[in-house]
């Protein structure tokens, strides 16, 4: 008879692709984990993991079983959630992934109130780029991501929260700083600083102004930035311009606010959503999180019709 514990073990091995690390994360010894998986394979008369490969990988039938095991485990968790809902209990663990271009601006706005309102919810937050957040969701290593959408990913659901404007941040000495009318063509220049590959905001900037090829010729040095704060600091010192999301204006000094400009021919927006597996079991926790963020964001940022959403890809 298949047990939920055995399903947890094969999912853990698939996640970490190593018996030792899987056992450690399941808080058991490796021999115990190996014995339970071996027993499951014998009962089913199939091989779930190809142990001749390093790192080990599931067999074809093993992968199908693991995929179904993830669904079964999420559905079994939903039973506990139904009971908690019936008892009006708000508790549990929620693991949140958030992209670096959003974390420093959005987290401080809502996370403290969320924890104070629901003290029995244990919150774990990791900062990762979009690609890694999707992988973590697929492996059930996080419960929900906060990032730019639409992703158009299979098995991933999206729950839009707000729409922030993409703004220009320019050095006072840059010609664009003095323009009364700024179009998208004005920022398609070698003097624009961009985030490094892997950041969805970089992709949206490139999609917005259709930048082609390298833009390094007009910059004083080659640099792949990992944060918007770093880019703004470089613009302040070295000149040029970059693009920032609207939330980056919150708490900004008057000196810096004077360097923020809007496009006059378009209002480009980035859609920000909660994303989660379609088999996600913690619906109450995610809805509470969604509502807490909505309540913390100015109403005008929640209007999709105020501009044009820029695609990620």
pLDDT reported for residue 284: 79
* Consecutive 10-residue averages of pLDDT for the chain (313 residues): 88 88 88 90 90 86 90 79 63 88 92 90 91 88 91 87 94 90 85 79 77 48 73 90 91 92 91 83 81 94 92 72
CA angle 141, 144, 147 (to 5 degrees): 115
pLDDT at site 90: 61
Distance linking the first and last C-alpha atoms of the chain = 46
Are 110 and 70 spatial neighbours (Cβ–Cβ below 8 Å)?
no
pLDDT score, position 212: 40
Dihedral angle at the C-alpha atoms of 52, 53, 54, 59, nearest 10 degrees? -120
Phi, psi of 90 (to 5 degrees): -120, 100
* String of DSSP letters for 119-139: TTEEEEEEE--HHHHHHHHHT
pLDDT of residue 213: 42
Q: Residue 193: which of 237, 231, 244 has the closest Cα?
A: 231
Looking at residue 64, what is its pLDDT?
92
Q: How far is CA 90 from CA 145, 159, 284, 291, in A?
A: 20, 21, 8, 14
> Which candidate, 208, 211, 192, places its Cα nearest to that of 309?
208
Domains of the chain: 4-85 (1.10.10.10), 90-162+269-309 (3.40.190.10), 165-268 (3.40.190.10)
- The pTM of the full predicted model, rounded to 2 decimals, is 0.73
For residue 279, what pLDDT is reported?
63
Give the residue among 65, 32, 29, 28 at the shortest CA–CA distance from 47.
65
């Amino acid at each position: 008879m298949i047990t939920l514990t055995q399903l947890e073990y094969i999912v853990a091995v698939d996640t970490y692709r190593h018996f030792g690390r899987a056992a450690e994360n399941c808080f058991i010894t490796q021999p115990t984990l190996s014995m339970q998986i071996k027993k499951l394979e014998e009962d089913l008369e199939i091989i779930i993991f190809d142990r001749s490969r390093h790192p080990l990988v599931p067999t074809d039938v093993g992968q199908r079983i693991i995929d179904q095991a993830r669904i079964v485990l999420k559905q079994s968790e939903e039973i506990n959630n139904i009971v908690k809902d019936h008892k009006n209990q708000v508790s549990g663990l929620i693991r949140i992934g958030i992209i670096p271009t959003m974390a420093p601006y959005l987290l401080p706005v809502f996370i403290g109130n969320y924890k104070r309102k629901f003290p029995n919810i244990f919150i774990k937050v990791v900062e990762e780029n979009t690609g890694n957040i999707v992988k973590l969701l697929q492996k059930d290593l996080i419960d929900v991501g906060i990032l730019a959408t639409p992703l158009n990913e299979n098995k991933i659901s999206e729950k839009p929260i707000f729409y922030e404007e993409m703004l220009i941040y320019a050095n006072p000495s840059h010609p664009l700083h003095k323009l009364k009318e700024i179009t998208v063509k004005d920022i398609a220049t070698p003097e624009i600083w961009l985030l490094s590959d892997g950041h969805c905001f970089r992709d949206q900037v490139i999609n917005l102004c259709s930048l082609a090829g390298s833009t390094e010729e007009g910059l004083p040095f080659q640099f792949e930035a990992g944060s918007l704060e770093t880019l703004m600091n470089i613009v302040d010192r070295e000149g040029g311009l970059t693009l920032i999301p609207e939330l980056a204006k919150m708490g900004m000094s008057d000196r810096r606010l004077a360097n923020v400009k809007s496009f006059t021919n378009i209002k480009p927006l980035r859609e920000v959503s909660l994303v989660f597996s379609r088999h996600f079991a913690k619906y109450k926790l995610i809805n509470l999180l969604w509502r807490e963020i909505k309540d913390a964001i100015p109403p005008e940022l929640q209007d999709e019709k105020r501009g044009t959403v820029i695609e990620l890809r």
